[in-house]
Amino acid sequence: MTRVSIVIPAYNEQDRLANTINAVRSLPFQHELICVNDGSVDHTAEIAEELADVCIHLPKNQGKGHALQAGWKQAKGMYILCLDADLQDTASEAAVLLEPVMNKRADLTISKMPQRGNGGRGLVKHRVQKEIHRHTGVWLDAPLSGQRAFQRQWLRLLLSRSYSGYGIETMMCLHMLKGGARLLEVESTMRHREMGRYLPGMMHRFKQWRHIEKQLRGETV
């Protein structure tokens, strides 16, 4: 069995995807790289076909939750590593997420990435932190981070749920913690594109908030 399945959901990431995949290839583990093209309208599909081991093409943009679950269904690895498509060269640091999982010190690891000061005000993150703490008693510093690794045994739980849009990280934390998973946040210097405090960033955070609220209410996006 492949030791690590790396799942990268990608939507219109033609400018960053190749660098991310090439950086991931440097990880010192036997791995398969699964790229889920989430209905992109740029050249993401062609890049994924050229560089990934397994390519899944969704016919239209269905959101990060659907894309990740599509990748998980194809994963053959003992460990699953989920990475955003825009990490570029910093994706090579993802090994720090796998080590605690492989050594059975954690069931799920989440990357605590540095804040560069040009993101939002943290309102969505704080809402999620409070909600996870209310349900589980656990306070997380980075509950929205998309960089995470987990043991294969948790796939049955994660594939039995319906995840959609940007709510997947929140609900994944809730479901795994409630299921008894040991969660560990890991410091890293991985970086992805921050949307900033201008209109595109504000729209992204509003969409993220809306998806999370719907998922918390048990609705699909």
- Residue 221 within a domain: no
**Cα dist. 146→16, 27, 112, 192, 199 in Å?**
16, 18, 10, 10, 22
Q: How many domains does the chain have?
A: 1
Measured in whole angstroms, how far is the alpha carbon of residue 117 from the centre of its chain?
A: 21
Total-model pTM: 0.89
- Residue 72 within a domain: yes
- Residue 11 within a domain: yes
Residue 117, helix vs strand vs coil: coil
pLDDT of residue 118: 52
Residue 132 phi/psi, 5-degree rounding, is -65, -40
- Residue 111 within a domain: yes
pLDDT (tens digit, 0 to 9) for every residue of the chain, 221 residues total? 579 999 999 999 999 999 999 999 999 999 999 999 999 999 999 999 999 999 999 999 999 999 999 999 999 999 999 999 999 999 999 999 999 999 999 999 999 987 655 555 688 899 999 999 999 999 999 999 999 999 999 999 999 998 877 789 999 999 999 999 999 999 999 987 665 555 555 565 656 667 677 777 775 55
- Residue 108 within a domain: yes
b/e burial code for range 146-157 (CB count within 10 A of at least 16 → b): bbbbbbbebbeb
As a whole number of angstroms, the distance between CA 56 and CA 11 comes to: 12
For 134, other C-beta atoms within 10 Å of its C-beta total 8
pLDDT of residue 138: 97
pLDDT of residue 196: 55
Residue 39 phi/psi, 5-degree rounding, is 70, 35
pLDDT of residue 218: 75
pLDDT of residue 219: 52
As a whole number of angstroms, the distance between CA 184 and CA 112 comes to: 10
Expressed as residue numbers, the domain containing 134 is 4-216
- Residue 28 within a domain: yes
CATH number of the domain within which 77 lies = 3.90.550.10
